[in-house]
Amino acid sequence: MSLIIFKTVDSATMQSIGNVALSATANASPGWQAESNACGDAITEFIQPGHYSITFRKAGYKDRVLPADLAASGIITVGLDRTSGPVPPDPTPVPVPPTPGGPMPNRKDEVKMICDLHPEAFPEGDDDALNAARLHLLKTEIIPTLQALDGPDWGLLKKTDQNDKIPVDILVWRPTAATEYIDVMSGTGATWQHRDNPNPSKWVWVAA
């Protein structure tokens, strides 16, 4: 089984499109449904390999039917063409209170997949560019993807004793933020290293 992320974008602008409905049918495997989040990512976890016909649908855009042979994990970008006239606004989401979290999920494989698909996040020779690129990847790809899988408890580490510094490579699971955090990136790619939190009153969880 595979983890596949469909990134839905506007074909003309290549900007992400959120709230796109996906519906898949298959001859030999069960069908499935999904919806892209505000970042345009539709997370489909553990899809059975096979041939699928996937329909992408959103108001203001033409339906697109994509035949696809799905097997390996990865990210698939899908462009949608606008219909004539303005695109209607997305409905205002109803706030959902965070649900209590449990033990920290092990998302080592998902983090590695995302990092492997974004080599531009690991430029050579410029520490400032490297740090900026990794923080961007953490905020815009890694955390939204893991939140789509596990809920809102994934976040960043803030060091309040260091001018509210946000480390560029640290992931925090809110229920265990007082005891641990995860080092998820080096200068060259993904890692998954548990670290004890040495200063829980000042090194705290913060939303991305």
CATH code of the domain containing 50: 2.60.40.10
Two tokens, residue 197? 């939190």
Do 15 and 51 belong to one domain?
yes
Q: What is the pLDDT of residues 197-207, one digit of tens each?
A: 999 999 999 99
Q: How confident is the model at residue 157 (pLDDT cuts 50, 70, 90)?
A: very high
What pTM, to 2 d.p., does this model score? 0.62
Higher pLDDT, 195 or 25: 195
Gap between the Cα atoms of 86 and 64, Å rounded: 18
Residue 92 binned pLDDT confidence (cut-offs 50, 70, 90) = low
**Structural domain containing residue 194:** 108-206
Instruction: Using the predicted structure, report yes or no on whether residue 97 has a pLDDT greater than 50.
Output: no
| pLDDT per residue as tens digits for the range 112-140 | 888 887 888 998 888 888 899 999 999 98
Is residue 72 located within the same domain as residue 127?
Answer: no
- Residue 119 and residue 49 share a domain: no
From residue 92, how far is each of 37, 60, 207 by CA, in Å?
13, 16, 21
% of the chain surpassing 70 pLDDT: 88
Looking at residue 28, its pLDDT comes to 59
Q: Other CB atoms closer than 10 Å to residue 57's CB: what's the count?
A: 15
Residue 140 lies in a domain: yes
35-49, 71-85, 90-104, 119-133, range with the lowest pLDDT: 90-104
Whether 184 and 190 have beta carbons less than 8 Å apart is answered as yes
Q: Verify that 72 and 115 share a domain, yes or no.
A: no
Picking from 18, 34, 21, the residue whose alpha carbon sits closest to that of residue 90 is 18
Question: Is the pLDDT score of 89 beyond 80?
Answer: no
Q: How far apart are CA 139 and CA 145, in angstroms?
A: 10
Distance CA 177, CA 173 (A): 6
Residues 76 and 124 in one domain: no
One domain for residues 52 and 132: no
Query: From CA 128, how far away is CA 126, in angstroms rounded?
Result: 6
Total domain count, the chain? 2
Q: Of the residues 41, 62, 80, which one is the last residue of a structural domain?
A: 80
